[in-house]
């Protein structure tokens, strides 16, 4: 259908990149990237009108996105040659042909196109030996300056290598190392690096990816003084095992922050400051990290000893997502994990029926801190036993005080 729209507008249109790669690998991929030899934006608007779908244009990049009602999305780009004013900056765009468009891409495996116009429908455009590399499982850049032009590709190389169990080709690896040593990764904004890192964290085996980033000294460039050790590997693995379960409890969850807690475990003030600035970490994240640094280990000991919830609560309170994940990173045995999950369930579900007003009006307690303290006591009791009778406990507490 898209091809016939191309025919209507009399412009060549191709599906490119990850979709074509995955097609040959037999992997499902719902991200469709189209490239148009002409004006991509105009074409997108034409398609949007025909199909009555929403279109969002990005004038600067000559691209547009089509949003279908069922969440399906198609990105349309203008065949382009990007040129870079300065290395590591966002590219400038010029209209060009499909071959040039493919040449500017990251790796050969991502640089194939399939034509969609009816005349040549299904024709594969493979100028750079992409299929061969795909068959042999090789990650290869298209030209020597690929990593200089976009240093985040170093992280991408690792992601594809690990995802498909491929191998970074020797010369590409050499270029990668040279570019890395040239300090190019440091020239990219933290935001862009973070985006690529987050993609690694979404892979099936993220710890393998992190390990490889460390092996290639990329991790160290991203987070100075972070060393991937056997212990770190174990903690990360524990963490990734429980994320799904944790997400059922926390609507606000950020895996990047959780992993950072492990990376920054032995931080020094300077490193923390620079990482904070570079990756735009919120103040809250840093405050929580500092607050918890001396408490994590004691809390873990308490969990292992099955100390009662009310006592854990006095130290831990209601932990945020990354703190809960940090604790779970240290727990290997299922029973301890379950005990901690039970704790989390409790602290987030136990609610008092009793209100401060009752204490004020019925029991004539005037001071707010006093009311808060009593309510806190009863809350703790309820953490240990959700079935207590709150009123009875209240009378006990008040009786104890008066007596
Ligand atoms: N691309 C590139 N350089 C980058 C990012 C992207 O050349 N730094 C190109 C690649 O050709 C890639 C396409 O843009 O195939 C789309 O990028 P993206 O959606 O990030 O990756 P996919 O290849 O689709 O991978 P994934 O399966 O992870 O979505």
pLDDT tens-place string over residues 278-293: 999 999 999 999 999 9
Cα separation, 259 vs 60, whole angstroms: 34
> For residue 141, how far is its CA from the centre of ligand 1 (angstroms)?
13
CA–CA distance, 329 with 324 (Å, rounded to integer): 9
- C-alpha radius of gyration, the chain, whole number: 28
Mutate to test the pocket of ligand 1, among 23, 33, 141 (most ligand atoms within 8 A of CB): 33
Q: Six-digit token pair at 97?
A: 């042909």
Ligand 1 atom closest to Cα of residue 19? 24
Please give the distance, rounded to the nearest whole angstrom, from the Cα atom of residue 31 to the centre of ligand 1: 10
pLDDT of residue 17: 95
Does ligand 1 lie within 6 Å of residue 63's CB atom? no
Q: Is 118 exposed, middle or buried (0-12, 13-18, 19+ CB in 10 A)?
A: exposed
Q: Which residues pair with 147 in a beta bridge?
A: none
Ligand 1, atom 7, lies closest to the CA of 105
Burial of 335 (0-12, 13-18, 19+ CB in 10 A): exposed
- Contact between 262 and 232 (Cβ < 8 Å): yes
- Specify the ligand 1 atom closest to the Cα of 111: 11
> How far is 110 from 139, CA to CA, in rounded Å?
9
In tens, the pLDDT along 37-84 reads 888 888 899 999 988 899 999 888 888 999 988 878 899 998 865 555
Residue nearest to ligand 1 atom 13, measured at CA: 17
Residue 92: what are its φ and ψ, rounded to 5°? -90, 155
Where do the H-state alpha helices sit in 64-205? 98-103, 130-136, 146-149, 153-164, 170-181, 190-201
204-244 tens-digit pLDDT: 999 999 999 999 999 999 998 888 999 999 999 999 999 99
CB of 206 closer than 6 A to ligand 1? no
Q: Which pTM value belongs to this model?
A: 0.88
Ligand 1 pocket test, pick from 101, 110, 150 with the greatest ligand atom count within 8 Å of Cβ, gives: 110
Is the pLDDT confidence value at 260 over 90? Answer: yes
- 18 within ligand 1 shell (Cβ under 6 A): yes
Cα of 363 from ligand 1 centre, angstroms: 66
Distant-in-sequence, close-in-space partners of 229: CB < 8 Å, separation ≥ 6: none
| Confidence tier at 9 by pLDDT (50, 70, 90) | confident
Q: Is 151 in the pocket of ligand 1 (CB under 6 A)?
A: no
- Give CA separation, 247 vs 189, 244, 257, 318, in Å: 29, 5, 14, 15
pLDDT interval class at 356 (50, 70, 90): confident
Are the C-beta atoms of residues 73 and 66 closer than 8 Å to each other?
yes
Taking residue 318's Cβ as centre, other Cβ atoms within 10 Å add up to 10
User: 212 CB less than 6 Å from ligand 1?
Assistant: no
d(CA 47, CA 6): 9
Instruction: Tell me the C-alpha distance between 324 and 319, whole Å.
Output: 6
Please give the structure tokens belonging to residue 189: 């904004």
Nearby residues of 253 by Cβ (< 8 Å), 6 or more positions away: 243, 246, 247, 321
Nearest ligand 1 atom to alpha carbon 22: 27
**Pairing between strand 54-58 and 113-115?**
unpaired
Mean pLDDT of the residues in the chain? 91
What value does the mean pLDDT take over residues 101-114? 96
Strands 73-78 and 31-36: parallel
Which tokens is 63 given? Answer: 């691209």
| Region for residue 137 given its phi and psi (left: phi exceeds 0; alpha: psi -120 to 50; beta: otherwise) | left
Report how far ligand 1's centroid is from the alpha carbon of 371 (Å).
58
Q: What is the pLDDT of residues 310-334, one digit of tens each?
A: 999 999 999 999 999 999 999 999 9
SS3 of residue 186 by DSSP: helix
- Token pair for 214: 């460390």
Name beta bridge partners: 114: 15, 124
Residues 135 and 166 sit within 8 Å (Cβ to Cβ): no
Please determine, for residue 357, whether its predicted confidence score (pLDDT) is greater than 90: no
Task: Please give the helix or strand (H or E) that residue 271 lies within, else none.
Answer: helix 269-278
Q: Which atom of ligand 1 is nearest to the CA of 196?
A: 20
In order, the DSSP letters of 280-300 are: T--HHHHHHHHHHTTTHHHHH
Spacing of C-alpha 249 from chain mean position: 18
111/139 Cα distance (integer angstroms): 11
CA-nearest residue, atom 4 of ligand 1:
106
Instruction: Classify residue 49 by its DSSP letter.
Output: H
Q: Is 106 in the pocket of ligand 1 (CB under 6 A)?
A: yes
Cα of 18 vs centre of ligand 1, distance in Å, is 6
Q: Is 33 in the pocket of ligand 1 (CB under 6 A)?
A: yes
Q: Which residue has the tokens 């004006």?
A: 39
């Amino acid at each position: 259908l898209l091809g016939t729209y191309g025919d209507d507008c009399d412009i060549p249109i191709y599906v490119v990149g990850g979709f074509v790669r995955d097609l040959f690998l037999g992997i499902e991929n719902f991200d469709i990237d189209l490239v148009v030899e002409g004006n991509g934006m105009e074409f997108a608007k034409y398609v949007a009108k025909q199909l009555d779908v929403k279109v969002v244009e990005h004038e600067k990049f000559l691209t547009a996105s089509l949003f279908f009602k069922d969440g399906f999305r198609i990105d349309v780009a203008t065949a382009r040659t990007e040129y870079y004013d300065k290395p590591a900056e966002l590219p400038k765009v010029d209209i060009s042909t499909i071959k040039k468009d493919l040449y500017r891409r990251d790796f050969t495996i991502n640089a194939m196109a399939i034509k969609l116009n009816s005349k040549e429908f299904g024709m594969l455009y493979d100028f750079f030996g992409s299929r061969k590399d795909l068959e042999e499982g090789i990650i290869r850049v298209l030209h020597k300056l690929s990593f200089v032009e976009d240093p985040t590709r170093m992280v991408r190389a690792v992601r594809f290598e690990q995802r498909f169990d491929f191998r970074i080709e020797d010369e590409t690896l050499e270029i990668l190392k040279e570019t890395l040593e040239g300090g190019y990764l440091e020239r990219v904004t933290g935001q862009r690096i973070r985006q690529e890192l987050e993609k690694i964290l979404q892979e099936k085996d993220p710890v393998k990816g992190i390990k490889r980033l460390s092996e290639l000294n990329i991790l160290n460039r991203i987070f100075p003084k972070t060393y991937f050790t056997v212990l770190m590997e174990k903690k990360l693995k524990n963490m990734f095992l429980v994320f799904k379960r944790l997400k059922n409890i926390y609507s606000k969850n950020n895996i990047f922050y959780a992993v950072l807690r492990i990376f920054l475990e032995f931080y020094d003030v300077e490193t923390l400051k620079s990482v904070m600035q570079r990756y735009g970490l919120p103040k809250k994240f840093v405050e929580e990290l500092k607050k918890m640094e001396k408490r994590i280990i004691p809390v873990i000991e308490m969990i292992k000893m099955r100390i009662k919830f009310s006592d854990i609560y006095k130290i831990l309170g209601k932990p945020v997502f990354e703190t809960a994940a940090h604790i779970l990173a240290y727990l290997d045995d299922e029973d301890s994990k379950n005990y901690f999950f039970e704790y989390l369930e409790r602290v987030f579900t136990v609610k008092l029926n009793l209100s401060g007003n009752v204490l004020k009006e019925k029991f004539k307690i005037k001071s707010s801190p006093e009311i808060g303290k009593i309510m806190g006591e009863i809350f703790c009791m309820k953490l240990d036993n959700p079935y207590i009778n709150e009123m009875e406990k209240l009378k006990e507490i008040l009786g104890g005080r008066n007596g």
